[in-house]
Amino acid sequence: MYNLIRNGIKSTLTERQLNVIHQIRSLSHLAYEDIRVNMLGQVFPMKPTAISMMANDVCNSRCQMCAIWQQKKDRELSPDELEKIFIDPFFSEVRHIGITGGEPTLRKDLPELYKAACSKLPKLAGASIITNAIIEDVVKQRVSQSAAVCQEHGIDFSVMVSLDGLGEIHDEVRGRKNNFQSAINVINYFRQQNITTSFGCTITKSNALYVDELLDYAISEGIYGRFRVAEFIDRLYNNEKTDFIRNFDDKTAYHLGLFFYRVEHEFEQNTTYQNTYRNIRSMLAEGKPRQIGCPYHTQTVILTSLGDLLYCSPKSPVLGNTLQSSPGKIYFSNLAKRRDLIKNDCDNCIHDYHVPISFREKVSFFIESKQKHIKYNSAALVKASKSIIKARKQEVNVLDIAAKTVLIVGWYGTETVGDKAILWTVIQRLRSRPYPPEKIYLSSLCPFISQWTVKEMGLGDIRVVETYSQDFEQRCDEVDEVVVGGGPLMDIEALNHILYALMRASKRGAFTRVEGCGIGPLVSPLYIQVVLEILRLSDYVTLRDRTSSERSLKEFSIDYAKTVADPATDYVEYVKSTLEDLQNATPPLGRSKNISCFFREWGKDYAGSMDDKVFYSIKQQFEAQLVEMVKFIAQLKGADIHLLPMHTFHIGGDDRVLNRRLAKNISDFEQNVNFARGPVSPLEILQSMYHAEFNLCMRFHSVLFAETLGVPYLAIDYTGGGKIKAFLEERGKLNRLISLQDVASGHWQSRLKSLLHSELLI
């Protein structure tokens, strides 16, 4: 009767109404779980819902970050003993068991352990195993048998294979030759057997710079995996492994911050694990304490191979032995120790323990997103901005401005090498005033990026504030001057924060200006209106090229914009003035005779009216011909090939992804092919250009760097006659330009012959 009534009601509702009801039910359940588990879990402790079980305490690996392999085999729980433990009412709510080690597949009776769990844990729904896959045939056999046991009982089963890098990198971390190949063989085998399979990568000092290549491989092969940072864990006996665990210099920690951002946005689909990666990034790159919960706080326990019970792996003492005492009594009588662990140790734990996003987090995120949409909606801002009357000031000398506090806005938090050079110039000019500002604030879309830039560029006391935050809004309402610090004013929603800052400042009569920006690509009617208001509300405007100035006059009626050199030029000139330092410097990829390449992915946003099929066909042809062109020039010069990134962040396109792909395609070449694995500073880019026999440039600022530095180069125009062409045309250097289409079609050969004839390539 109940089902009939329910189905009758459902039949009268629309799909949208049913979705709303489903969402309400989901949120209600999430709210209940949040209150019961996260808020009351310590006050009213719960039975565990998951067990992490050590099948043994020995291992046939020799991992850098673990010392279990140094242990001698001790007594291990038998399947019968495990059954006796699991029938205790304390384990009646367990829904998942994960069996680890040591190396669990060393146990001949491994399937019997799963049988004990499946038969005695009444609510068990899932089981898993982690293996190093060293003894390939044994692993295949014993894991397959374990999967079969679970299948017989209707229990989901999955396997995770340790994989810490490609080839020798993995073997080095794991201390076993040929382990990489056996791991790949095992992964492929279980995938063919339709067993849910993933890999687990543990990041140490040894493989930190190589994890991007593993991620590339995983994406290309369609293999799912998880990434974690090696942690000091008592049950791994690794407290002395300080050479490998969390032993990253600042640059490597920043590199890992970039990596975990990429994993979160390009690879991982699950919101829980995305949240975990955000937490790891904030701990590594920003030095923040742990910001997410942990299942071991309330719902998960450790069971060792001896039957000992622990609250967690990293720091929990042994609470008692489940063969000798009631598991429930052991667990509930030691809760003060768990509270001490949470208080004293959890904030510094970087292990990738996962908990679902809580109801409070989800609601908070929804409210913040809603408020941001309302407050920073571009259309609404344009409408409000038009009501602000902006009295034009007389001719202004920016050196006469005596602002005590300055806020710099723009694309910071996603900055390229060129943006970093621009920021250096903007700040140097501020500090060169007769009355320099006492405080400079930098608005940043991703603060950890800009914090590194401030450090890398030696900018000193700059306060980075997160864009769209209350801190940002407060600065907009307080500072004496707002500067739009370089970069393009283009079709992108983030223009909204620039307009917001100028509106708030203009209402108070604060000084506002645009310094050295470009205009475009800009075709959206809405964003054209946003840029119009940005220019209208600015007391002083300088644009980095004549085309931008002409457009601002013709389309926006801005007759006070001045054309100036891109601000990054000042930074290059400064470095160029220290000629002896340039001559003595060793670039990041060394001083071998080389051609240095500064390429970027050709994005769909530059495809114009091409349909997808045509675009991807040209893109494929371009990359194939680019490889041939690079090889030709390198052979001509008898030089190595160095591939360097002008940008290393996921937003805006990490050039290292393309560089790794190109390096792989050039790998059969006679000369050495090297690519930068970590981030590269503007100074290192200039050093590389200076010492190169020839430079192939693609990003705009790589062209500007090479031209200003006065080194031999060829520029590839990927913009279809945009900013790169305009820049070189103003300097009478169009002979240095080749279009992307000419490269893709193979016409680069005749173009290079022309350069040879004019001795520009010699």
- As averages over each run of 10 residues, the pLDDT of the chain (762 residues) reads 54 65 65 63 82 96 94 90 97 98 96 98 98 98 98 98 98 97 98 97 97 98 97 93 95 98 97 95 95 91 97 95 96 94 94 80 76 89 92 75 95 96 97 96 97 97 96 97 93 95 95 93 94 95 91 90 94 95 94 96 84 92 95 92 97 96 84 93 98 96 97 93 89 93 91 74 63
- The residues that bridge with 159 in the sheet, in sequence order, are 129, 197
Q: How far, rounded to the nearest angstrom, does the alpha carbon of residue 551 sit from its chain's CA centroid?
A: 36
- Please name which of 563, 501, 566, 510 lies closest in space to residue 533, comparing C-alpha atoms: 501
User: Is 121 within a domain?
Assistant: yes
Looking at the structure, tell me whether residues 330 and 193 fall in a common domain: yes
User: Is 100 within a domain?
Assistant: yes
Torsion of CA 631, 637, 639, 641, to 10 degrees: -40
Mapping DSSP to helix (H, G, I), strand (E, B) and coil, where does residue 479 land?
coil
Looking at the structure, tell me whether residues 461 and 598 fall in a common domain: no
- Helices 612-637, 748-757: axis angle to 10 degrees equals 40
User: Is 183 within a domain?
Assistant: yes
Looking at the structure, tell me whether residues 674 and 601 fall in a common domain: yes
Looking at the structure, tell me whether residues 184 and 267 fall in a common domain: yes
The confidence score (pLDDT) of residue 372 equals 82
The rounded distance, in Å, linking the Cα atoms of 292 and 309 is 24
The confidence score (pLDDT) of residue 21 equals 64
Looking at the structure, tell me whether residues 560 and 593 fall in a common domain: no
Which amino acid, one-letter code, is at 677?
Answer: R
Of 571, 599, 620, the residue that ends a domain is: 571
Looking at the structure, tell me whether residues 562 and 598 fall in a common domain: no
Looking at the structure, tell me whether residues 194 and 305 fall in a common domain: yes
- The residues that bridge with 514 in the sheet, in sequence order, are 484, 541
The rounded distance, in Å, linking the Cα atoms of 222 and 63 is 26
Domain residues for the domain of 26 are 1-31
Cα–Cα separations (whole angstroms), residue 520 to 490, 646, 675, 718: 5, 20, 31, 14
The rounded distance, in Å, linking the Cα atoms of 696 and 757 is 18
Looking at the structure of the chain, the number of domains it has is 4
Q: Read off the CATH number of the domain in which 671 is found.
A: 3.40.50.2000
Looking at the structure, tell me whether residues 427 and 523 fall in a common domain: yes
N- to C-terminal Cα distance for the chain?
Answer: 88
Looking at the structure, tell me whether residues 519 and 600 fall in a common domain: no
Q: Which helix (H) or strand (E) holds 441?
A: strand 439-444
Burial of 291 (0-12, 13-18, 19+ CB in 10 A): exposed
Burial of 491 (0-12, 13-18, 19+ CB in 10 A): middle
Q: b vs e for 16-42, b when ≥16 Cβ sit within 10 Å of the residue's Cβ?
A: eeeeeeeeeeeeeebeeebeebbeeee
Burial of 121 (0-12, 13-18, 19+ CB in 10 A): buried
User: Is 475 within a domain?
Assistant: yes
User: Is 476 within a domain?
Assistant: yes
User: Is 36 within a domain?
Assistant: no
User: Is 372 within a domain?
Assistant: no
Q: Are 204 and 172 in contact (CB under 8 A)?
A: no
Which amino acid, one-letter code, is at 135?
Answer: I
**Cis peptide leading into 104, omega within 30 of 0?**
no
Looking at the structure, tell me whether residues 394 and 454 fall in a common domain: yes
The confidence score (pLDDT) of residue 521 equals 87
For the whole model, what pTM was predicted?
0.93
Looking at the structure, tell me whether residues 145 and 162 fall in a common domain: yes
Looking at the structure, tell me whether residues 316 and 387 fall in a common domain: no
Cα–Cα separations (whole angstroms), residue 581 to 199, 424, 576, 671, 706: 46, 19, 9, 28, 17
User: Is 368 within a domain?
Assistant: no
The confidence score (pLDDT) of residue 36 equals 61
Mapping DSSP to helix (H, G, I), strand (E, B) and coil, where does residue 421 land?
helix
